[in-house]
Amino acid sequence: MNYSAIEERIGVTFREKVHLLTALTHRSYLNEHREATQEHNERYEFLGDAVLELIVTDYLFREYPKKPEGELTAIRSALVNTVSLAGAATELGLGEYLLMSKGEAKDTGRARQYLLADVFEAVAGAIFLDQGYDAARDYIARSLFGKTKEIVEKELWKDAKSRFQERAQDKVSITPTYETLRQTGPDHARQFVIGAFLGKELIAEGEGFSKQEAEQVAAERALTKQGW
């Protein structure tokens, strides 16, 4: 593995390279490569999730001293959700270095986003283990803090369905509705496709592993399509 290329991208030179290797190793890779000696990244992801929450909470608490805790919680959720973390991992190119099985490598859409979000957290955990809180904070700050202003100004901390309903009622005096258009996959991995409607007009579709998730995706796409 070309450690120097990855380290340059994330802005950290690891003292113990095994931390970085572990953070980039998906469980499925070890199933196909019995000769590998490193662990998979799930423990690092667990640690990184906690580190991420503390660092982002500390930042928001200081940055917005007059905002109530409920609003800060919602802003934090918008900043560290799967889409946001997957976007940050993509910008860093972490997906190019993630070690995983051939099957996992073929994943697209939401499944791919989950993989990328997980590896972003795992790298945060690895940095914390290798160099401590300040280095982990710098990594997270470079990747996420710049997104905060847009989230606050555009109220992206509100869930997509709430924002779509507010905009729709304000602009066209219609309350959106949602309908299940399709269901695919086995019972244990059911995927739903939901349509967001204004009256009888289908504005956008969204997919997800639950109806609630698919509705949120549909609402987000509807906001984009309507330019709201």
Q: With contact defined as beta carbons under 8 Å apart, do 160 and 220 qualify?
A: yes
pLDDT band at 93 (very low <50, low <70, confident <90, very high): very high
- Say whether both 131 and 182 belong to one domain: no
* Tens digit of each residue's pLDDT (9 = 90 or more) over 192-210: 999 999 999 999 999 998 9
Selected catalytic residue, list 8, 16, 104, 121 = 121
Do 214 and 201 form a contact (C-beta atoms < 8 A)?
Answer: no
At residue 109, the pLDDT reads 67
Contact by Cβ (8 Å): 183, 192: yes
Do 118 and 180 have their domain in common? no
CATH code at 75? 1.10.1520.10
Binding residue numbers: 45, 118, 121
Q: Of 134, 153, 172, which residue sits at a domain end?
A: 153
**Domain harbouring 184, CATH code:** 3.30.160.20
Residues 61/46, Cβ–Cβ less than 8 Å? no
Q: Is the pLDDT of residue 144 over 90?
A: yes
Identify whether residues 125 and 147 lie together within a single domain.
yes
**pLDDT on residue 108:** 63
pLDDT of 165 reads: 94
Start-end of H helices in the chain: 3-10, 17-23, 27-32, 42-63, 69-79, 82-92, 102-105, 109-131, 133-144, 148-153, 160-171, 211-226
The arithmetic mean of pLDDT across residues 95-122, rounded, is: 85
Domain stop point among 153, 174, 192:
153
Total domain count for the chain?
A: 2
Give SS3 for 198. Answer: strand
Same domain membership, residue 214 and residue 127: no
Is pLDDT above 80 for 105? Answer: no
Same domain, 48 and 147: yes
The larger pLDDT score, comparing residue 31 to residue 116, is at 116
Binding positions for Mg(2+): 45, 118, 121
Which of 49, 104, 130, 215 is catalytic? The answer is 49
Average pLDDT over the chain, rounded to an integer: 92
Residue 146 has pLDDT above 90, yes or no: yes
What sign does the dihedral 149-154-158-160 (CA atoms) show?
A: negative
Q: Are 149 and 165 within one domain?
A: no
- Residue predicted with more confidence, 52 or 190: 52
Q: Is 104 a catalytic residue?
A: no
Is there a single domain that holds both residue 134 and residue 166?
no
Instruction: Name the residue range of residue 209's domain.
Output: 160-226
Q: Same structural domain for residues 44 and 99?
A: yes
Instruction: Map residue 137 onto helix, strand or coil.
Output: helix
49 is catalytic: yes
Q: Are residues 87 and 31 in the same domain?
A: yes
Contacts of 9 (CB under 8 A, 6+ apart): 92, 93, 94
